[in-house]
Every structure is written in C-alpha cells, then in structure tokens.
Structure 1
C-alpha cells in the first residue's frame, strides 16, 4: 500500500490520475487491416491476442475507475460532517484505491502473458509459406500428370516436392515444439497473475471489513447525541496491518512441470534452460514454470 493513511492529502493528484479512462471500443484502422492480411495459419491466434488486448484495456480502465470512486467516497464522507463516517469512508477509500491499483497491476501481468502467445503466432506465420509451397508443388504435379503425363518437368517438380516436404517437416516440428512450450508458459503466467490478484484482494477485503466494524450504527432518537468517535487510532492500525500483510505476501503455487528444452531453431537442445528463477537442469530433467515473470522469447525461430 504505497500511499498515505488518507486519500484527502492527495485528493487533487488522485483526481487527476483517476480521471483518465481507457477506451475499449473497436474501430476500423490499421489493426483491422493487419488482421485481414495475416497468414491463414496464424489468424485465429492473432484474433485471440487482439481480444486479450481488449481485456487488458478493460481491466486497466476498471482499475482507474475504482481509484476515482475511492476518492469520491472519501470526499462524500467528509461532506457528511460526521466524524465517524468521515474517517471510516476515508480509510475504506484507501482500501478501494489499493484494489484499483491491483487491477492495473493485473492488467500489466496479462500483457506479459499476451506477449508469450505472440511468439507462437509468429512461428505459425512463418510456417505458412512452407505449407503453401508444398501444396503449390503438389497441385502443379497433379495438373501435369493430368494434362502432360510425359512432361520432363515432372521429375524436376517431384524433386522440388521432396525438398519442400523436408523443409515443411522441420517447420511443423518447430511449430509443435514452440506451441506446446509457450502455451504452457503463457497460461502459467496468466493463472499466477490471477492467484496474486485474488489473494491480495482477499487481504484488502478482510481488513476493509474490520474497518466497518469500527462504525457504530446503533440507532439514536431525535435529540440524542451520538458518543464521540474515538476509533481513529484503530482505523490507522487496520491500514497498517493491511500494508504489512501485503508486504509479507508471497506467491505460493503448485509447480507446473516442463520438459521443454529448445535451441534457437526450436529443436531439442542438450542443455535445459532454467525457467524457474535460475535453477538449471540437465537434459531430460524437469524444471518448473511459476509464470510470474514470463515474457516474450527474445529468440526468433527461422524456418
């Protein structure tokens, strides 16, 4: 909780930052043009990645709106001229603001997951030409066999087909290897982000309920005065407890085992790269994917 014990000391700053909302509307433009020119093999994953971008924008927008609402709640509480409501609404506003920050962080983590999927899409796009080349040669051979069965060009085309099939075999193996590895890595990252967000939300929600317990809602009759509110110190302590719990929080997940060990050409390598915080493993040994820091591969697969 990287903020003060009150939203009001930073009210103006908070309003400035919270008033910006993201747009998730879909418009025709260069992005839609790029979608229509994607190779057939990579079109579905391209659309999935674009859709995930809309999800990320929605979470970012929701986080910013939550921060804005938190500030509005604090302002409203101040306007009630009720010390208890003013203090509790302000403290709850701090909690709600932290929930908004969590949503924005979650969106950033989803962007990391999305970038891993892009590496699969790129390999799919690179495999498409080898499929097209093989299909084109096959069609040409069939055409010649039907129209000119004695054509000397048939021998040349059949030799080209052998080479094209060999190239495609390598490309398909690369695609299969990368797809399995990156799908596992991407969604390990995705669900780790979900766990982090939900567990931190739980921490904030439970401490927020403790704040509500400080508000005395005993009815009064007209003319009676309510007891003076003296829970400011307790409310501050609850915020401090929440901050401490968030600071001490650690991600604890069951391991997602992986045998993936690919070289720059997306083929099995003799040494397994460490994927879990630097713990290396020999060939054939398993490492694990926690998924919290997964990013897009820096190596391009050439097929």
Structure 2
C-alpha cells in the first residue's frame, strides 16, 4: 500500500511569510460555542439586517459593509473547511481503485487539502482589510456629534431670531456656532484624510492577499494536471491486464516540486501582472503628477482651527467629538456586539443543528502521513 506524502508536515515558513509575516487569526475564528461550522444563511441575514440599525447616521452605511464582510469571511471559512473534507474523502475513495488511480487521487487529495489551508490563511489576511475599514467607521461615528451640534445651534439661532430678534442669547449662540463650525471643520478634515489613508491601506491588504492566494492556487492547479498525466487512460479489452504502475516516485517528486514552488513564491515573482494601456498609463501618471504638484505647492494642507478660541465656561460649552457620550456609548456597544455576535449565532445554531458533532482539531487526511524528504 502506498503512503501519502502530505505537505501538511512540519516545515519552515515560506518566503512570502518571511517577507510579510502572517496576521493573527481572524476574529471570526474564535469564541464559538459550536465550533466553526456556524449556521450559514440565518446568521448572515441577522448580521446584514441588523447592521447600521444603531449608532450615528453617518456611520450606518459603512457599518453595514463591515457586517457584510464578516458574512463573506464566514463563508470563506466554510469553503476552506469543506475543501479539506473533500480532499480527505477523495483520498479515501481512491484506496479501493487500481494502483495508478489510487496513487494519483491520494496526491490530488494532498493538493486539494493545501488549497483549503490557503483559503483558511486568506481569511486571516482578509480580516486585516475588514478591521481597517472598521477604523473608518469609528471616525465617521465620532464626526456625527459635531455635525449635529452645529445644526442644533443653527436651528436655535433661527428660532430666536424669529421669536425674539433682540434676545442677548443670539450673540452667545453665534459665538458658539463659530466654535462649533471650527470643531466641525477640523473633524471633517480629519475624516477626509483618514478615509483616504485607510481605504488605500485596507484594499491594499485585500488585493495583496487575493493575489498571493490566486497565484498559489494556480500553481497547485498546474501541478495537479501533471499528476493526472501519470494515469494510463489507454482503453483495454476485456481480460487484458494493464502494465504495472511505476509512477510512485514521479508523483512524490511532483508533490515535492509543488511544495518548493509554494515555499519560494514571493510577490516580486508573481506570474500575472496588470499591464496598463498607453492611454491608462498616461492619464494615471497625469493624476499622480497633479497630486504631487499640489502637495509640493502647499495646497490642500488644512489649518488646525481647534485652538483658535477658548471654550465658553457655561453648560453649553463644546467638548471634543470623541468625548460625546453618544459616541462613547456607540463604540462600546459596537465592541460588545462583535464580542457577543458569535455567541448569538451559536444560540440560533443550537435550535437548527442539535445533532452537530464536535469538530476534530487534527488535520489528518485518513492515511498515514510521512513528510517528504527534503
């Protein structure tokens, strides 16, 4: 009986991991009472429908996006888990087949299992993108009170001018409005700057992770096709015996080559590159030159107006946006929601999956594993 030479054996970090250390496990992988299976569509619908129901209006749309991305991550986790189970089952089925089919399906199971592991790693990097987008949402939530306060003072002034045109309170409110506008101006500028910085960082995380994942999957697919060439599909007549299979060393070598390719892959050696047309390249360069010219000329650099006036010493005196009780309560509730979300999903899952078995922590594929000799 042949043996599986699994790439899941202990090995050193890959070149890509050395160049770009892997992030911590994603937030969706911990704190689940019933394991990582989840309840699929029900939990997704609850998160999607509840997203943005609370908190400042300015942050509602991005809150919904963040929750929908958590649904994507849960789905990716499920795909990775099922992919590894399929790999195990393929290897088990192949045991009863002829030698060549048995050996090749076993090695194909190794490759498919590796794809599942790559998908699981991709989830961790995807979470970097999601967490970065959450930081934009939190800034949006902190800006909302300054907008509301400016609008409230404006409404009060308009109401007083209509009812009591000579009221001394109008002068006080107008002074407060100046300060509120300055506060709002600073907050809006910070939101604009941070949004641009974070969205570029967030999608850089996502596209880098996606590029690495797809390149490595393409590598595995190529070596999988090489494995298929070891199967003799020449038709035989009834009673004819096929030649003895002599491809064990070849299949082992293909698996080793695949592992070496995955280990040595780095972004600089990516096979696929996005090449711009001459027109796109020219227009993009023009845009970058315009940005550089404005930056060097000093344009677009805002002025900090937060300290131009001292706050009034009365009960209506303004406070920084991040100290408003509404924002503080919102941020706390968001953290509690993230912490409790998995537990709530599992409570729903208990009603739908009462026969759910505990998931094994081992990643064995059903056969004896032996690491490939270097």
TM-score when normalising by structure 2: 0.62
5 Å-filtered alignment, 1:156-235, equals 156-235=172-251
**Maintained 8 Å contact 2:52/2:59:** no
| 1:297 equivalent in structure 2 | none
**Maintained 8 Å contact 1:70/1:96:** yes
5 Å-filtered alignment, 1:57-96, equals 57-80=74-97, 82-96=98-112
Separation in 2, partners of 1:119, 1:20 = 26
> Which string of whole-angstrom CA distances, capped at 9 and with x for unpartnered residues, describes residues 23-73 of structure 1?
433448799667311210011111101111111111111011000000000
> Which string of whole-angstrom CA distances, capped at 9 and with x for unpartnered residues, describes residues 252-288 of structure 1?
388xx999xxxxxxx98xxxxxxxxxxxxxxxxxxxx
| 2:67 equivalent in structure 1 | 50
Q: Does 1:36 align with 2:53?
A: yes
Tell me the secondary structure at the aligned position of residue 222 of structure 1: coil
| 2:27 equivalent in structure 1 | none
> Which string of whole-angstrom CA distances, capped at 9 and with x for unpartnered residues, describes residues 179-237 of structure 1?
00000000011100110001001110000000001100111111001111110000000
Match of 2:256 among 229, 240, 264: 240
Aligned length: 252
Q: CA RMSD in A?
A: 3.0
| 2:5 equivalent in structure 1 | 5
Greater relative contact order (Cα 8 A, min sep 6): structure 1 or 2?
2
Separation in 2, partners of 1:95, 1:233 = 17
Separation in 2, partners of 1:202, 1:132 = 52
Separation in 1, partners of 2:6, 2:171 = 82
Quote how far apart the aligned CAs of 1:22 are: 4.0
Q: Does 1:141 align with 2:157?
A: yes
Quote how far apart the aligned CAs of 1:20 are: 5.5
| 2:345 equivalent in structure 1 | none
**Maintained 8 Å contact 2:48/2:64:** no
Match of 2:41 among 25, 33, 46: 25
**Maintained 8 Å contact 1:23/1:57:** no
Quote how far apart the aligned CAs of 1:138 are: 0.4
Query: Where in structure 1 do 4 or more consecutive aligned residues deviate above 4 Å?
Result: 27-34
- Structure 2: which 5+ residue stretches go unaligned? 10-34, 274-287, 293-300, 303-320, 324-374
- Structure 1: which 5+ residue stretches go unaligned? 10-18, 260-266, 269-300
**Maintained 8 Å contact 2:219/2:258:** yes
Separation in 2, partners of 1:206, 1:247 = 15
**Maintained 8 Å contact 1:85/1:215:** yes
**Maintained 8 Å contact 1:214/1:231:** yes
Separation in 2, partners of 1:59, 1:159 = 54
**Maintained 8 Å contact 1:22/1:60:** no
